[in-house]
Amino acid sequence: MASAVAAALVGWGFLDYKTEKYVMTRNCRVGVSQRLLQLGVVVYVIGWALLAKKGYQEWDVDPHISVITKLKGVSVTQIKQLENRLWDVADFVKPSQHPSVPLANCWEDKDCPEGETGTHSHGIKTGQCVVFNGTHRTCEIWSWCPVEHGAVPRKPLLIQAQNFTLFIKNTVTFSKFNFSKTNALDTWDSTYFKHCRYDPHSSPYCPVFRIGDLVAMAGGDFEDLALLGGAVGISIHWDCNLDTRGSDCCPQYSFRLQQRGYNFRTANHWWEASGVEARSLLKLYGIRFDILVTGKAGKFALIPTAITVGTGAAWLGMVTFLCDLLLLYVDREARFYWRTKYEEAKAPKATINAA
């Protein structure tokens, strides 16, 4: 039984061992194809994978980021209700709110549940349905009086804001390499940040931005944004090569106009001489700056280098395999090369000579 199984395995070639045999062939077509493919692999591995894509480096693409901003500037507005008013940093830097104010019509008191409030309401309902005019009735509310009106300014009130400056201090930390860098230029001049202004050509590493220039680089018009507001995106990208000890690690800025139209409301409260609490409600149209920071850092390491080189070696082996296919299956002399490349070698049988 065992001999029958062994014979079957031998017949199927299961126990055959194949070893490499190198045959030198004088075939120009296959030879040229092989050299061109090998050249392509070498150029790809060295030129693209190793040099262009820095395949010899280990990467950290999840940095720790901190951003601090400071807005500076002073302006004066002439508003009928407030007369001449001076605006400084404490006045025009505000958090945003976004309410809207439609009317609440009713027919009778039960349409106005007492104490009910809503996102779009001016106040809290008293439970009374009152006459608004000759044809309409509305729910009475307890609120500040008068309510906000929907007048839109015809010209920017803070046109001088285009000369304000925005200071952006950004620190990026790549914990994998224990490396930190800030976008502020390392200088001994204590007055540098007071007079420098960002310019992509002459001062690319100054973190102080003039608002008018910043809006222009984002593709917007300052007067339009100052009139009805808007949102500007500021992107800071770090692409650091730490093999140069951090000298090749500088921020790259880009700007984009994200939306036109942005406003928010704020109020100042005080007590009048009569003992009645009063407030000034301001609807402010402004420019919102959204800052996005991304980054990556690379440094030489043996493992990624070995992987990149090993991948190139595997591709060179694939070139040999492809050329073998061309030689054995496509070439006109494929049968000849097949017989030459593959040869069956059998060991001679041992014989016993009788004495």
Q: Per the domain annotation, does 100 fall within a domain?
A: no
Scanning 170-301, the segments in alpha helix (DSSP H) are 192-195, 211-217, 222-228
Decide which of 194 and 95 is more confident: 194
Check whether residue 196 and residue 321 sit in a common domain.
no
| CB-based contacts of 49, cutoff 8 Å, min separation 6 | 55, 308, 311, 312
**How confident is the model over 110-121, as pLDDT tens digits?**
888 887 876 566
Same domain, residue pair 89 and 199: yes
What pLDDT sits at residue 106? Answer: 83
Average pLDDT, the chain: 79
For residue 95, is the peptide bond before it cis, meaning its omega torsion is within 30 degrees of 0? Answer: no
Range of 117's domain?
109-142
Confidence of residue 237 (pLDDT cuts 50, 70, 90): very high
Our measurement of the distance from residue 38's CA atom to the centroid of its chain's CA atoms, rounded to an integer in Å, reads 37
The pLDDT of residue 80 is 58
pLDDT band at 97 (very low <50, low <70, confident <90, very high): very low
- pLDDT tier at 65, thresholds 50, 70, 90: confident
Predicted confidence (pLDDT) per residue in 166-186, tens digit? 999 999 999 999 999 998 877
Q: What is the pLDDT of residues 3-34, one digit of tens each?
A: 666 666 556 666 677 777 677 777 788 888 88
Which residues make Cβ contacts (< 8 Å) with residue 183, sequence separation at least 6? Answer: 168, 169, 170, 171, 205, 207, 236, 251
Do 312 and 245 share a domain, yes or no?
Answer: no
Do 125 and 229 have their domain in common? no
Q: Is residue 295 over pLDDT 60?
A: yes
98 pLDDT more than 50 = no
Q: Is residue 77 over pLDDT 80?
A: no
Classify burial at 182, counting beta carbons within 10 Å of its beta carbon; exposed 0-12, middle 13-18, buried 19 or more: middle
Do 193 and 66 sit in the same domain of this protein?
Answer: yes
Name the least confident of 39-43, 67-71, 244-248: 244-248
Same domain membership, residue 123 and residue 197: no
pLDDT of residue 99: 38
Query: CATH code at 248?
Result: 2.60.490.10
* Helix (H), strand (E), coil (C) string for 6-54: HHHHHHHCCCCCCCCCCCCCCCHHHHHHHHHHHHHHHHHHHHHHHHHCC
pLDDT of 157: 67
pTM of the predicted structure, to 2 decimals: 0.65
Q: How many domains does the chain have?
A: 3
What is the per-residue pLDDT for 290? 92
Sorting pLDDT into bands at 50, 70 and 90, what band is 216? very high
Q: Which residue has the higher pLDDT, 32 or 245?
A: 32
